[in-house]
């Protein structure tokens, strides 16, 4: 029998709150079973995931270090997703942002100017926006599918990064290893506290979140953006521009991802190297949806995913879990969350024929 998902007219608000808890509970049960099969300590693993990240000050700062870029990218992507602009390429936009920002310390190795960091932020933002702008141009001019274009542009960005690291930007004293020089202090964000990696860049995602919340929830521009993407004809009729929705969505994401890339090279990494994104560009998509594309939901989702990743690292070291088991656990959580979320908002209805099914949707 074939089933069809039908949106519930009155999804229970209470259930929406219970959803994340239920998902966590289900994945704990299933992964505990897996841990027993693997012969690993169940309680210690759970402790590693959910408690250890908060057990000492250093871990807490590390959670926020991951929280920053996840939040920044997810907020920007969500604006686009609400306008039905599917930018899958934040990863590539982040890489270009990191590259452009790195140009400053790579070409001004000895500079101690206080303008280093602002210049890097500016270049990072411009780089990310330019990269996303290519997709916006191709979409608005030739109606090229932005999913494919942004995804492919990410692959190109990665090759560009490799080219620079193996060629012109290679550290001259680095014995041919593919990385740039270590950046000087003037090109790095100052740590918030001594001895931790969390730095002043954390304020950028927070400010950005407030701005997005004001734009989308309080401002008419947010509404126009959404309509422009969801119903281009209606938007044109009302005098809103559908093309503008595409441009604004992509440029905003490029801006955020570019700044996120800049914050990584000017933060915990301190140089440009082959792995600069830690997968934030793709994880940002998950965070955006986990947060139900809502600015406040995304704050919680980004924090949750950050805890999960730090907890995963702890489990690797303290509970002696293989990295694949950690990834399975994280994957289970997301799958259960999305399944529960779907079943709270939709109901399963047997779809015998096309006709009854379409009636179901319209009813």
Give the interface with other proteins as residue ranges (CB under 8 A): 56, 58, 62, 65, 162, 166-167, 175-178, 182, 195, 197, 264, 268-271, 273-276, 278, 309-310, 313-314, 316-318, 320, 322-324
C-alpha to C-alpha distance for 128 and 259, rounded to whole angstroms: 8
Q: How far is the CB of 152 from other proteins (least distance, A)?
A: 19
Which is closer to other proteins, CB of 58 or CB of 115?
A: 58
| Cα four-point dihedral sign 246, 247, 249, 250 | positive
C-alpha to C-alpha distance for 132 and 143, rounded to whole angstroms: 15
Tokens representing residue 161 in the block = 């990064």
Is 120 in contact with 187 (CB distance < 8 Å)? yes
Q: How far is the CB of 166 from other proteins (least distance, A)?
A: 6
Q: How far is the CB of 109 from other proteins (least distance, A)?
A: 16
Which is closer to other proteins, CB of 2 or CB of 190?
A: 190
Which is closer to other proteins, CB of 51 or CB of 234?
A: 51
Q: Give me the residues paired with residue 300 across strands.
A: none
Q: Give the number of residues written for the chain.
A: 363
Q: How far is the CB of 291 from other proteins (least distance, A)?
A: 23
Q: How far is the CB of 36 from other proteins (least distance, A)?
A: 22
Q: How far is the CB of 352 from other proteins (least distance, A)?
A: 46
C-alpha to C-alpha distance for 77 and 4, rounded to whole angstroms: 28
Which is closer to other proteins, CB of 194 or CB of 363?
A: 194
Which is closer to other proteins, CB of 145 or CB of 159?
A: 159
3-state secondary structure of 193: coil
Q: How far is the CB of 53 from other proteins (least distance, A)?
A: 11
Q: How far is the CB of 167 from other proteins (least distance, A)?
A: 7
Which is closer to other proteins, CB of 226 or CB of 264?
A: 264
Q: What is the 3-state secondary structure (H, E, C) of 72-106?
A: HHHHHHHHHHHCCCCCCCHHHHHHHHHHHHHHHHH
C-alpha to C-alpha distance for 286 and 308, rounded to whole angstroms: 13
Which is closer to other proteins, CB of 234 or CB of 317?
A: 317
> Dmax over Cα atoms in the chain, in whole Å?
72
C-alpha to C-alpha distance for 153 and 135, rounded to whole angstroms: 8
C-alpha to C-alpha distance for 119 and 58, rounded to whole angstroms: 30
C-alpha to C-alpha distance for 179 and 269, rounded to whole angstroms: 11
Which is closer to other proteins, CB of 3 or CB of 58?
A: 58
Tokens representing residue 319 in the block = 């509970």
Is 111 in contact with 194 (CB distance < 8 Å)? no
């Amino acid at each position: 029998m074939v089933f069809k998902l039908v949106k519930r007219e009155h999804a229970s608000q209470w259930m929406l709150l219970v959803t994340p808890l239920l998902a966590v509970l289900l994945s704990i049960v299933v992964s505990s079973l897996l841990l027993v099969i693997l012969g690993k300590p169940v309680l210690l693993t759970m402790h590693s995931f959910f408690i250890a990240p908060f057990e000492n000050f250093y871990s807490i700062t590390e959670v926020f270090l991951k929280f920053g870029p996840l939040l920044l990218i997810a907020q920007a992507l969500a604006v686009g997703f609400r306008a039905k602009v599917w930018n899958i390429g934040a990863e590539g936009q982040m890489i270009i942002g990191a590259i452009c920002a790195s140009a400053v310390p790579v070409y001004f190795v000895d500079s101690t100017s206080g303008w280093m960091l602002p210049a890097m932020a500016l270049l990072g933002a411009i780089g990310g926006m330019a990269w996303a702008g290519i997709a916006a141009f191709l979409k608005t001019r030739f109606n090229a599918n932005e999913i494919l274009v942004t995804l492919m542009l990410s692959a190109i960005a990665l090759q560009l990064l490799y080219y620079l690291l193996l060629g012109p930007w290679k550290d001259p004293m680095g014995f041919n290893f593919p990385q740039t020089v270590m950046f000087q202090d003037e090109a790095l964000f100052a740590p918030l506290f001594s001895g931790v990696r969390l730095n002043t860049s954390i304020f950028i995602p927070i400010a950005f979140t407030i701005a997005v919340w004001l734009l989308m929830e309080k401002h008419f521009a947010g509404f126009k953006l959404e309509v422009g993407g969801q119903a281009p004809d209606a938007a044109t009729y009302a005098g809103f521009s559908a093309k503008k929705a595409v441009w604004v969505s992509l440029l905003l994401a490029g801006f955020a991802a570019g700044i996120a890339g800049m914050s990584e090279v000017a933060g915990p990494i301190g140089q440009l190297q082959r792995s600069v994104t830690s997968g934030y560009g793709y994880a940002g998509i998950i965070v955006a949806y986990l947060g139900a594309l809502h600015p406040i939901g995304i704050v919680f989702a980004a924090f949750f995913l950050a805890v999960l990743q730090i907890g995963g690292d702890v489990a690797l070291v303290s509970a002696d879990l293989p990295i694949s088991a950690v990834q399975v656990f994280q994957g289970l959580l997301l799958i259960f969350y999305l399944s529960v979320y779907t079943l709270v908002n939709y109901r399963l209805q047997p779809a015998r024929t096309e006709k009854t099914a379409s009636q179901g949707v319209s009813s």
